């Protein structure tokens, strides 16, 4: 699947093998990283509106909410795949005719639209026999791309912790947890902080997977290890450009099998 440039407000410029992301305007964020390398620490963020959910742009838009799939399955024994994925599609998106922005964040499988990390989570769960937990927030996001990234920026700048929409399952039954997420503003999406701070992952073996538009893992491995100080976060993680997600299945399967599953 062809996935093109990122956002109209953001430019990813390839320079000597390094992708750089920059936000036009206030210069609030810039980030550069090699495809799979650890991201340098992002520049300090400017505090902005602390509660974007109350703005007209953030008015509830039910069709913007990704399909709910938060009930853990029962197939797995001791592995959980927990992931956040926010494809920029709506209930009316046509899987045969996605816009560029929709295509950037989604993969179509047998006519079904999946977010990039949802796509990867499903493959990992299939290969490991894991249960899955989709991390969802009660918060509504704008359906338009510009509104979404603006709200995400506000949440990140404010250190926001959106509410989880679903109760985290009993994690005592799992030894290994795969955690997946997109990169937002060269950071973890705020809902990931909510999850990581509430989940009791002490003693677990953690493997990370993420997709991005050019920022690599943006230092999120180190950040997650810092939050999950009592867990073991592997250095062997799956980091993939959104441009390659649709063609990543074999690499993903090889990675999972290489971990011993």
Kindly list the residues in this chain that would bind ligand FMN in the complex (CB under 6 A). 21, 85-87, 104-105, 115-117, 148-149, 152, 182-186, 211-215, 242
Complex with ligand FMN: residue 186 or 228, whichever CB lies closer = 186
Token pair 């796509």 is found at: 119
Complex with ligand FMN: residue 176 or 248, whichever CB lies closer = 248
Complex with ligand FMN: residue 204 or 242, whichever CB lies closer = 242
- At its nearest, how many Å lie between ligand FMN and the CB of residue 241? 8
- At its nearest, how many Å lie between ligand FMN and the CB of residue 173? 26
Complex with ligand FMN: residue 78 or 249, whichever CB lies closer = 249
Complex with ligand FMN: residue 98 or 152, whichever CB lies closer = 152
The Cα 211–Cα 98 span in angstroms is: 19
- At its nearest, how many Å lie between ligand FMN and the CB of residue 49? 15
Cβ density class 165-188: b for 16+ within 10 Å, e for less: ebebbebeebebbbbbbbbbbbbb
Residue 58, CA atoms < 13 Å, CB-side half-sphere: 17
Q: Which of 206, 224, 188, 221 is nearest to 38 (CA)?
A: 221
Kindly state the tokens that stand for 21. Answer: 């992301």
Element (H, E) at 106: strand 106-109
Distance of CA 223 to the CA centre of its chain: 14
- At its nearest, how many Å lie between ligand FMN and the CB of residue 231? 22
Complex with ligand FMN: residue 124 or 183, whichever CB lies closer = 183
Q: Which of 183, 175, 166 is nearest to 224 (CA)?
A: 183
Q: Which of 115, 119, 97, 98 is nearest to 106 (CA)?
A: 115
Complex with ligand FMN: residue 78 or 140, whichever CB lies closer = 140
Token pair 């509410």 is found at: 163
- At its nearest, how many Å lie between ligand FMN and the CB of residue 170? 25
Torsion of CA 138, 208, 82, 160, to 10 degrees: -20
- At its nearest, how many Å lie between ligand FMN and the CB of residue 172? 28
- At its nearest, how many Å lie between ligand FMN and the CB of residue 86? 4
Q: Which of 36, 17, 16 is nearest to 239 (CA)?
A: 36
The Cα 13–Cα 57 span in angstroms is: 29
């Amino acid at each position: 699947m062809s996935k093109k440039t990122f956002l109209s407000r953001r430019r990813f410029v390839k320079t000597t093998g390094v992708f750089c992301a920059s936000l036009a305007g206030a210069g609030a964020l810039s980030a550069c990283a090699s495809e799979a390398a650890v991201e340098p620490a992002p520049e300090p963020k400017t505090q902005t509106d602390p509660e974007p959910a109350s703005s007209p742009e953030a008015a509830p838009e039910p069709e913007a909410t990704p399909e709910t799939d938060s009930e853990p399955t029962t197939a797995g024994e001791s592995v959980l795949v927990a992931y956040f994925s926010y494809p920029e599609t709506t209930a009316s998106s046509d899987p045969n005719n996605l816009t560029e922005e929709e295509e950037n964040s989604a993969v179509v499988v047998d006519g079904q639209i999946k977010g990039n990390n949802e796509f990867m989570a499903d493959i990992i769960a299939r290969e490991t026999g894991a249960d899955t937990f989709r991390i969802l927030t009660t918060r509504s996001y704008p359906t338009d791309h510009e509104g979404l990234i603006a709200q995400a920026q506000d949440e990140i700048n404010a250190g926001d912790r959106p509410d989880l929409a679903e109760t985290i399952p009993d994690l005592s039954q799992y030894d290994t947890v795969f955690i997946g997420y997109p990169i937002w503003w060269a950071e973890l999406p705020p809902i990931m902080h909510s999850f990581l701070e509430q989940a009791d992952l002490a003693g677990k073996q953690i493997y990370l997977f993420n997709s991005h538009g050019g920022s690599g893992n943006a230092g999120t491995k180190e950040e997650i290890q810092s939050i999950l100080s009592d867990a073991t976060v592997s250095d062997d993680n799956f980091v993939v450009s959104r441009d390659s997600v649709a063609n990543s299945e074999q690499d993903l399967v090889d990675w999972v099998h290489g971990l011993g599953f």
